[in-house]
A = this chain, B = another copy of it.
Amino acid sequence: MAANRRPTLADVAREVGVSAKTVSRVLNEDGPASARTREQVLAAVARLGFQPNLMARNIRVGGPDTTIGLVVPDLGNPFFGAVAGSIEDRVRERGLTLLMGSSADDPDRERALTDKFLARRVSILMVVPSVGADHAHLRQHRAVGLPVVFVDRPGAGLATDCVVSSNREGARAGVTHLVGYGHRRIGFVGDLPTRLYTRRERLAGYREALRDAGLPDDRLLIASAHDQHDAGEATARLLALPDPPTALFAGNNIVALGVVAELARSGRKDVAVVAFDDVALAEALEPALTVVAQNPEEIGRTAATTALARLDGDRSRARTVTVPTRLIVRGSGEQRVSASA
């Protein structure tokens, strides 16, 4: 019960009868040390259960901490989970540890998190920027050598490295797939807010595909949803239109869940669907869900690689890397337009 304090370097030194510096030397394999001393020190360390205080070390050494700060909108979203896992894989070999937080797409929460990360002197800062967040304040940190990377979306007010999916091209390919099966009225169910980069890009890709096909862009066919439930309702509303869509394009993984669930609920097998971002069990649906798959592992890896290069002194211009998406045709896009139209 005695809240005994943790042993320090000095405790170990005292135990062995050497100076603190000697212990430090042994532990960091810095400078020389006699075999005998080394042995004694190591024994004492084990005996006392000494664990060096990394914060104290960092303070003295002055360099950045061996952590990497990552802000995502939602830890529970599998897409961001996959990105985070990929980042971790890539930076682990460099001894970096992940400091993570979720912003809920709230600029204030994002700012609070990045401020905390900066106060901890993270080695690298990665952010999935929230709509409305400004990142001008990060400029000074970047200037002092902190790599800042935006992930999934570009940030505002700061020119720095950025890794995104090929949202526009992907959406265009997905919608073109639907057009190819004769659909002329294709609904778009996007996420919110409408100013969200991914939403805008994917909508733009949708519109490009329509234009390519000479189809009109009917605003009535464009819906939005915050979450899976809303996406289901938006789907129902679209299908209840006087002149309803015969196909739907889902703007992200969460929306896709809602769209697919609603079609299943209402037994509408006649509506073609393509979703942006892959979802679990897509291939087990009937029909199996055709998707524009993102590559979260590659996004994470690229972001990490870019940041590490900066850490190693890469001073080249900020670049935006676009990670390709891939149309995975599984069937749901192939419902032909019925004669009713």
Contacts and interface: CB of A to CB of B under 8 A. Distances in A.
A1 B100 CA distance: 28
Contacts of A137: 49
A52 interface: yes
A324 to B, nearest CB: 20
Nearest to A79: B76
A10 B264 CA distance: 64
Q: Which of A78, A101, A260, A265 has its CB near the most chain B CB atoms (within 10 A)?
A: A78
A102 B88 CA distance: 8
A68 B211 CA distance: 51
Q: How many copies does the complex hold?
A: 2
A74 B85 contact: yes
A1 B288 CA distance: 53
A260 B279 contact: no
Contact of A58 (B55, B81, B143): B55
A84 interface: yes
A25 interface: no
Nearest to A112: B92
7 contacts: A1-B143, A4-B143, A54-B116, A55-B55, A55-B65, A97-B99, A279-B281
User: Which 9 residue pairs are nearest across A and B when measured between Cβ atoms?
Assistant: A75-B85, A264-B284, A81-B81, A54-B119, A55-B55, A76-B85, A76-B82, A76-B81, A49-B140
